[in-house]
């Protein structure tokens, strides 16, 4: 290890508290200092080149050091790095909003900017609540969310979350929500099997709405993939079904596309797979191609119009952030969209998805792989101690991490979710690198589960 790496590791150990990290374990490890990005590779301070197998935690889209995005930021920094969006605007914020509306599902019209996914979710919840006040239905204050859902770590977002491990400690601070079952086919809460179930999980949401719609403001969930919940993939038809129930019972539909947006599932947005338009859509993560923090809560003319009124009626949406609509972030996001257009990213992606799905079939044969699921390039491989009974590995074995550690030895960086091995490479990954990522992961799973 170079002296420089040692020194940085020391600073890090002494002064940095890492997110979602048990620091007791971390303090014992050799630090990996990521110094440079190069396409889908991350280069550490020792010169090792890793495949960025989870897109730097699901944000990176086309790879690192993408010329178009680099240039967009450089150009913008020469002009203006920040000015507020409270009552004034800036060119990238205005241009980006226009471009987003052009690519968003039809019916979405207004872009409200924030800085990260969790904030944009808070905005969606507050917007939905206040919308109903302006519509003369102040009793519609409750939300329906899903088991295994994840919407970020601020308190409103945690309230609509469904991952006990992350969320239970904060219970005293959370508001109550109606929890509908997840669309988790492998461990179906209703004990049914697709397709004979006819997507009954969606009807459970319908039942809640039927009974309580007078006090329900909105249903919120992640379309097609519950990402942090374990890369849980919904059966087709779920989205459409819930949309119909929302219409039937006059409840808003909030789709959190923070993880699924920007091509991750094979289309620009996951809701396009079923031609569904939400009333409120939340974007984040990949919005800037993985360069800078930026998120958006995008809504319909109908929702927007409800907030219009005379100044002293106070229908204003009293919410904002210091860096709302930051010009550098918006410029990066424009660069990101430019790459999609210029390089036909979505079209090229289809071939990669086909290859991925073909190769994933192999994984199903492994002794301890219980379920393999994907939508586009979002992949979850669920490891089980016993395939027959679907018995999970005890948490203590850290099986997901054992796989990740073996992969790391072969210069692939991945981060599991419990017993689920997650792959989510930048969609700009080459076929060759995708194959490497898959073969390293396959070997790592085999080693971790069968040879120790």
Which residues make up the interface to ligand PLP (CB under 6 A)? 116-118, 121, 150-152, 222, 227-228, 256, 258-259, 284-285
Closest approach of ligand PLP to the CB of residue 122, in Å:
10
DSSP labels for 178-245? EEEPP--GGG-TT---TTTT-SHHHHHHHHHHHHHGGGEEEEEE-SSEETTTTSEEPPTTHHHHHHHH
- What DSSP character marks residue 275? T
- Rounded distance between C-alpha atoms, residue 444 and residue 404, angstroms: 7
Nearer to ligand PLP, 228 or 334 (CB): 228
Nearer to ligand PLP, 297 or 345 (CB): 297
Closest approach of ligand PLP to the CB of residue 113, in Å:
13
**What is the CB-side half-sphere exposure of residue 204 using CA atoms within 13 A?**
18
Closest approach of ligand PLP to the CB of residue 220, in Å:
10
Q: Name the residue with the smallest CB distance to ligand PLP.
A: 117
Nearer to ligand PLP, 203 or 256 (CB): 256
Closest approach of ligand PLP to the CB of residue 119, in Å:
7
Nearer to ligand PLP, 222 or 433 (CB): 222
Closest approach of ligand PLP to the CB of residue 108, in Å:
18
Closest approach of ligand PLP to the CB of residue 325, in Å:
16
Nearer to ligand PLP, 156 or 266 (CB): 156
Nearer to ligand PLP, 294 or 448 (CB): 294
- Rounded distance between C-alpha atoms, residue 171 and residue 157, angstroms: 12
| Phi, psi (rounded to 5 degrees) for 297 | -115, 115
Nearer to ligand PLP, 45 or 55 (CB): 55
Closest approach of ligand PLP to the CB of residue 116, in Å:
3
**Tokens describing residue 336:** 């990101």
Nearer to ligand PLP, 272 or 433 (CB): 272
Closest approach of ligand PLP to the CB of residue 297, in Å:
11
Whether 123 and 318 have beta carbons less than 8 Å apart is answered as no
DSSP labels for 326-372? -HHHHHHHHHHHHHHHHTTHHHHHHHHHHHHHHHHHHHHTSTTEEEE
Whether 240 and 199 have beta carbons less than 8 Å apart is answered as no
What is the number of residues in the chain?
452
C-alpha distances in Å from residue 267, one per residue of 62, 81, 96, 183, 321: 15, 32, 19, 20, 30
Whether 231 and 417 have beta carbons less than 8 Å apart is answered as yes
Span between the terminal Cα atoms of the chain, in Å: 28
| Phi, psi (rounded to 5 degrees) for 429 | -60, 145
Nearer to ligand PLP, 379 or 448 (CB): 379
Closest approach of ligand PLP to the CB of residue 148, in Å:
11
């Amino acid at each position: 290890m170079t002296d420089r790496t040692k020194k940085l590791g020391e600073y890090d150990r002494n002064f940095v508290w890492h997110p979602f990290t048990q620091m007791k374990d971390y303090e014992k490890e050799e630090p990996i200092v990521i110094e440079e990005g190069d396409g889908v590779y991350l280069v550490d301070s020792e010169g090792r080149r890793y495949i960025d197998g989870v897109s730097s935690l699901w944000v990176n889209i086309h790879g690192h050091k993408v010329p178009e995005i680099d240039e967009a930021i450089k150009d913008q920094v020469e002009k203006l790095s920040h000015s507020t969006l409270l009552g004034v605007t800036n060119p990238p914020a205005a241009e980006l909003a226009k471009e987003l509306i052009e690519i968003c599902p039809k019916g979405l019209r207004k872009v409200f900017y924030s800085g990260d996914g969790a904030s944009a979710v808070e905005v969606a919840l507050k917007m939905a609540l206040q919308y109903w006040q302006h519509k003369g239905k102040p009793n519609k204050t409750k939300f329906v969310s899903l088991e295994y859902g994840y919407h970020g770590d601020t308190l409103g977002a945690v309230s609509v979350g469904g991952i006990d491990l992350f969320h239970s400690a904060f219970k005293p601070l959370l508001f109550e929500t109606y929890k509908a079952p997840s669309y988790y086919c492998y461990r179906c809460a209703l004990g049914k099997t697709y397709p004979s179930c006819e997507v009954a999980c969606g009807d459970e949401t319908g039942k809640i709405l039927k009974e309580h719609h007078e006090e329900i403001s909105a249903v919120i969930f992640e379309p097609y993939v519950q990402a942090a919940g374990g890369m849980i993939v919904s059966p087709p038809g779920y989205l459409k079904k819930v949309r119909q129930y929302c219409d039937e019972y006059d409840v808003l539909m909030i789709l959190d596309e923070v993880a699924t947006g920007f091509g991750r599932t094979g289309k620009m947005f996951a809701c396009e797979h079923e031609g569904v338009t939400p009333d409120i859509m939340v974007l984040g993560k990949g919005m800037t191609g993985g360069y800078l923090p930026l998120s958006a809560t995008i809504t319909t003319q109908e929702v927007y119009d409800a907030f219009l009124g005379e100044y002293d009626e106070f229908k204003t949406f009293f919410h904002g952030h210091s860096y709302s609509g930051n010009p550098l972030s918006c410029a990066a996001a424009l660069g990101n969209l430019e790459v999609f257009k210029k390089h036909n990213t979505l079209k090229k992606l289809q071939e990669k998805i086909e290859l991925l799905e073909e190769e994933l079939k192999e994984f199903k044969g492994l002794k301890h792989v219980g379920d393999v699921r994907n939508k586009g390039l979002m992949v979850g491989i669920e490891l089980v101690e016993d395939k027959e009974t679907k018995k999970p590995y005890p948490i203590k074995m850290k099986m997901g991490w054992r796989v990740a550690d073996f992969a790391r030895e072969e210069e692939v960086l991945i981060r599991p979710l419990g017993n689920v091995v997650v792959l989510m490479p930048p969609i700009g990954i080459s076929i060759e690198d995708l194959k490497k990522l898959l073969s390293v992961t396959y070997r790592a799973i085999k080693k971790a589960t069968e040879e120790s």
